Each structure stands twice: as C-alpha cells, then as structure tokens.
Amino acid sequence: MAHVNPDPHAQGYVFIPTNRVTGLFASYDDLQGALQGLQPLGFDPQHIDVFAGAEGAALLDLCGQRHGVATWMVRNLAAFVSDDAALHQQADAVLRAGGGVIGVLMEGKESMKEQVAAVLKANHAQTVHYWGRLTTERLG
C-alpha cells in the first residue's frame, strides 16, 4: 500500500521531490484510479507517496513555513529563479480543496517516467512532472 500523508521532512526539509514523478488530482477518486493503474507497472507501493487534503498540504509544507525562517527564506529565494514556486502553490491549493498528490519514486526506473505519466494523465491528473536533481520536466 502507498504511504498516505507521510512526513516527507522527517530527515530534514525536502525542497523538491527528487527523482519522482508527481501528479495533482482534484478528485481523490481519480487518485485512487491512478494508484490501481500503477500496479501493473511493477512499482513497489512503498515507493509511492500520497498526500491528501489539508493534512497533506500541512505535511508537505510547500512554502517552508513550518520549518523556520531560514527554510522560508530559501523557498522564497528559489521562487525568483525557478518556475517551481507556481507548481508548489498549485499543489497546495489542490490539496486544501480536498484533492491529492501522488509522488512515485523512480529509483532506477527513470526510463518508465512517460509510462507513469500516461497512467496519471489517464486518471485525470491536472499536471504531471518529473523532478530531477536540477530540473523539473513537465510530462504528458
């Protein structure tokens, strides 16, 4: 089973979901369909994180507010040099409106990122991205 609302910052603040394909879902039912669609691709459910609702938004802490002034400042500075800030705002809004976010750790399966994206899009993901170490790539 996928992790639902895990604390992604348990080992320190995570600025981006590195080496993951993510999808935003306005409907939690669509998100569940995507999880079922990922099963035949052979991804370990332990490598799939699901964030849902306001609790998921609070745990993700995409603005860095829960993690102190330094994290908040770095997050705001990053907004000047990256388009990722708009994605973070969109994800936060989707979660707070009752939607969900899936993050699939690719770990050696990067060649399958388009297949993962196709499953997420087929289940009505609003946006799908792959987060590399230094780049963010829109998929689908």
pLDDT digits (tens, 9 = 90+) for 58-68: 888 776 555 45
Residue 89 pLDDT exceeds 70? yes
Q: How many domains does the chain have?
A: 1
Answer yes or no: is pLDDT of 1 > 50: yes
Its domain, for residue 88, covers: 3-138
Tell me the C-alpha distance between 38 and 48, whole Å. Answer: 10
Using a pLDDT cut of 90, give the percent of the chain over it.
Answer: 51
Q: Is the pTM of this model over 0.75?
A: yes
Whole-angstrom distance, CA of residue 42 vs CA of residue 31: 18
CB-based contacts of 20, cutoff 8 Å, min separation 6:
103, 104, 105, 106, 130, 131
